Copies of this chain bind each other. A is one copy, B any other.
């Protein structure tokens, strides 16, 4: 047994004692900008390494009233769009020396319940995905001088910053694609009625319809789940006067709709009905689906979210910003491309 059982944590004091220097000196060795000769620093770091010392972040955070923790609240983790988001966020945070405190909460709620817990850790900032907070809670965070950024959701009272895809434009492009393909009977499957993503995507889509002198035939909601998309598509396609083009606010619902149309109703996609999604989740690209969709530029969105958090030009009480990043239309086979139906691959 060559490992020594060590029940006590190794502290900067231990390192100091081992080297015959003061605790302050050890501490300074770990802070990049401290006045300390390079040689001493190396000696200390080496000894620290040998003793297995790492600064206690709890103490550090307590003292500086700011931990290096960023809180992330995810309200829709089971949506396949988010694992990638989370993965990117986690790695990028780690790369800049920050940690992630994660909360997964029920789908599309407001997250006021969990936010106070974040304050208990003196978090450096908070990112909230697919959910909003009350403006009252936004005030609380402002008073605590803690930044909050909404990711993939926006509030219109300008109480917090947000980063979203250019939902309006992207959805307009979808509409144009479908109009040019000759579609006339449009339906939308939304997530939840009062979310910014729905409002914007539906709004952008409909605006483009109006410009072409057309209008929406139906708008139903599927709660951003596969099952919801499936069920809602059944409803629409089995109703009187079924749509010949369905724009789904998210890919999971689009895939559900696709399955309903093909597997249950025996419709051909896109010959009988075109289906378009939003997000570009991995399975959208699987051959069985070949979903035409809008790709959200996740990497860029995360970058923007982080810079909104760390932007030290303005302090936390500065006016919130709404960042919009263009989405990219990804054309696959689930939507017709031209009036005649030529040049169209049918995906079964």
Contact = CB atoms under 8 A, between A and B. Distances in A.
Interface in A82-126: 82-84, 86-87, 90-91, 94, 99-105, 114, 116-117, 119-122
B259 A58 contact: no
Q: Interface on chain A toward B: helix, strand, loop, or mixed SS? A: mixed
Contact of A58 (B3, B61, B80, B94): B61
A321 to B, nearest CB: 20
B83 A143 contact: no
A100 B99 contact: no
A288 interface: yes
B143 A3 contact: yes
A122 B87 contact: no
A77 interface: yes
A65 to B, nearest CB: 7
A277 to B, nearest CB: 14
A57 B263 contact: no
A280 to B, nearest CB: 14
25 contacts: A3-B143, A4-B143, A6-B143, A9-B144, A56-B62, A56-B120, A58-B120, A58-B122, A77-B83, A78-B83, A78-B87, A80-B83, A82-B83, A86-B86, A86-B102, A86-B104, A90-B103, A100-B102, A102-B102, A226-B286, A263-B287, A264-B287, A288-B288, A288-B289, A348-B348
